[in-house]
Structure 1
Amino acid sequence: MYRFLASPRWLGYAALTVAAATVMVLLGFWQLDRYHQRASINARITAGTSATPVPLTEVVPRPAGTPGTVGAAPGGHTEWLRVQVTGRFDASREILVRGRTVEGRVGFEVLTPLVLADGTAVLVDRGWVAPAEGGALAMPSVPAAPDGEQTVLGRLRPSESRGGPPKEVGGRLEVRRITPSAIAPAMPYAVYDAYVSTDQPAPGLTAVAPEKQNALQNAGYVLQWWLLAALTLYGFVYLARREARGPEPEDLLDEFHDTPA
């Protein structure tokens, strides 16, 4: 009954069906991996609200190079961990990160190097500040970084991609993205290849809250791809069974009516 499946046409149908279903299953597994990655990030964000902060030096490799260089990047599992680090702010090399949005408003994030006792530095995002009255590109009034030794508590953030070196605008250094490897050459010390977003901003600054990932969207894509794979296989089986049964009675009747007298 199913000998027709060995014909070149049906073998081609079978190969195409299996290939399509395989691709859909693999896409489902890719979305499943994305789901686990995003769920892990969300778990770290949630845990960070109550977790005891760990020393920065325990989770990020210390930069051992010469001034103007960065150390090794931390592992991806460290993003959003709550860390603490002690040092002195270098306000003379403070950088404004332009085009940053908080609560629907575009302003600046204030990035200030914190120099550790060993002479290395980590960039600290001290918080967000609204632009001046002149608009989003106008220079804001930034609260001064505190003097003396400071212990900073905050979330560990990885380097952002495609960042450029700081440029002087209106007497202040500015960047578009926080990329320590691009910023380090403008600094007189070796810099950690990550930055700390403080959760205790000074008055006049707004904390940059962590944004949770939409992991449920990826879970939905997993179900979508696997359901499509199942429907593709079912469609082949349905067509094969229909071919094996032969034409339906109504098909024969239509053929009879179409036959010329």
Structure 2
Amino acid sequence: MYRFLLTPRWLGYLALTLVAAAVMVFLGNWQLDRYHGRTAINERIDAGATMTPAPLRDAMPAPTGAAGSVGPAPAERLTWSRVTATGRYDSANDVLIRGRTVDSTVGFEVLTPLVLADGSAVLVDRGWIPPIPGGGATVQPAVPAAPTGEVTVTGRVVGSESGGGGVARRDGKLEARRIDVARLAKQLPYPVTGGYVLLDGQTPAADPAFRAVPIGHTNNWQNFGYVWQWWIFAVMSLVGYGWVARREARRRAGLDGPRVPVDRAAEPAAAGPATS
């Protein structure tokens, strides 16, 4: 009954089905890797909320190049860990990151280089501020001054962002769309650490005009759902091939021929109950 499966036509169907199933299994495995990666990020975020801050250099090595260079990026396993550092803010090189949203309002994140004792600096994300009322999302806001003198900061280690175009200086402040540490470092007069610090707290205290930048967990369960979706599709494609092949085999064997309709009108009427 199933010799037709060895014909070129049906062998082609089988090849297409196997390729489709293999691609779907691959996509499912890819989503599984993304699920594990995002789960690890969420676990680091949760662990960082309660950990004791470590020295900055335990997470991000000191840069060794000349002014404008950038140091090694923090290891992935150390991102979102808490660190502490002491230095002096360089307010002359504040960085405004525009287009950042908090509670559905588009504003700015303000980064200020913290110059350390070794002459290098680390960018500190001091927080979010709203735009000037009625000024639009691209008008520079009034940035609260950073404390003068020695400052000790505590915050989370965050890796550099990618993309977002270039860096421009306007009205004495650097502006960018993304926190690309390597691009920002080229505008600064000292070597810069390869990641930045998202501020949790500092001494002296930060200006109350800043709002803390929320740390969002990644949606890892969405990826987990995609894993099962692709794997189910792979199984369905194989089951579908088997169902079509079985249907064709039954047709060739004459088992699924058209049925003769039953003429109910030609059947004798059932005898009614006897009457007296």
TM-score, reference length from structure 2: 0.86
Q: Shift in Å at residue 252 of structure 1?
A: 6.2
For the aligned residue pairs, the C-alpha RMSD in angstroms reads 1.8
Q: Is 2:7 the partner of 1:7?
A: yes
- Closer, same or farther: CA 243–249 of 1 in aligned 2, 3 Å: closer
- Moved runs in structure 1, 4+ residues, more than 3 A? 163-166, 247-254
Would the aligned equivalents of 1:86 and 1:116 in 2 still touch at CA under 8 Å?
yes
Q: Is 2:55 the partner of 1:50?
A: no
- Closer, same or farther: CA 17–166 of 1 in aligned 2, 3 Å: closer
Q: Partner of 1:248 in structure 2?
A: 255
Would the aligned equivalents of 2:42 and 2:217 in 1 still touch at CA under 8 Å?
yes
How many corresponding residue pairs? 254
| Larger-Rg structure | 2
Q: Shift in Å at residue 72 of structure 1?
A: 1.7
2:239 counterpart letter in structure 1: Y
Q: Which has the higher helix share?
A: 1
Would the aligned equivalents of 2:92 and 2:172 in 1 still touch at CA under 8 Å?
no
What CA distance in whole angstroms lies between the structure 2 residues aligned with 1:91 and 1:231? 61
Q: Is 2:222 the partner of 1:217?
A: yes
Q: Shift in Å at residue 164 of structure 1?
A: 4.7
Would the aligned equivalents of 1:159 and 1:193 in 2 still touch at CA under 8 Å?
yes
- Closer, same or farther: CA 250–100 of 1 in aligned 2, 3 Å: same
Q: Partner of 1:145 in structure 2?
A: 146
SS of 1:186 mapped into structure 2:
coil
Q: Shift in Å at residue 152 of structure 1?
A: 1.2
Task: Report % sequence identity.
Answer: 54
Q: Partner of 1:188 in structure 2?
A: 189
TM-score, reference length from structure 1: 0.91
SS of 1:199 mapped into structure 2:
strand
Q: Shift in Å at residue 253 of structure 1?
A: 5.1
Aligned mate of 1:239, from 244, 249, 254? 244
Q: Shift in Å at residue 14 of structure 1?
A: 1.1
- Closer, same or farther: CA 227–126 of 1 in aligned 2, 3 Å: same
1:16 counterpart letter in structure 2: L
SS of 1:224 mapped into structure 2:
helix
Q: Deviations over 1:39-66 (max 9, x none)?
A: 1111111112111222221122321001
Would the aligned equivalents of 1:115 and 1:122 in 2 still touch at CA under 8 Å?
yes
SS of 1:77 mapped into structure 2:
helix
Flag structure 2 segments of 5+ consecutive residues without an equivalent: 262-276
What CA distance in whole angstroms lies between the structure 1 residues aligned with 2:105 and 2:17? 50
1:79 counterpart letter in structure 2: T
- Closer, same or farther: CA 249–176 of 1 in aligned 2, 3 Å: closer
Would the aligned equivalents of 2:125 and 2:199 in 1 still touch at CA under 8 Å?
yes
- Closer, same or farther: CA 191–20 of 1 in aligned 2, 3 Å: same
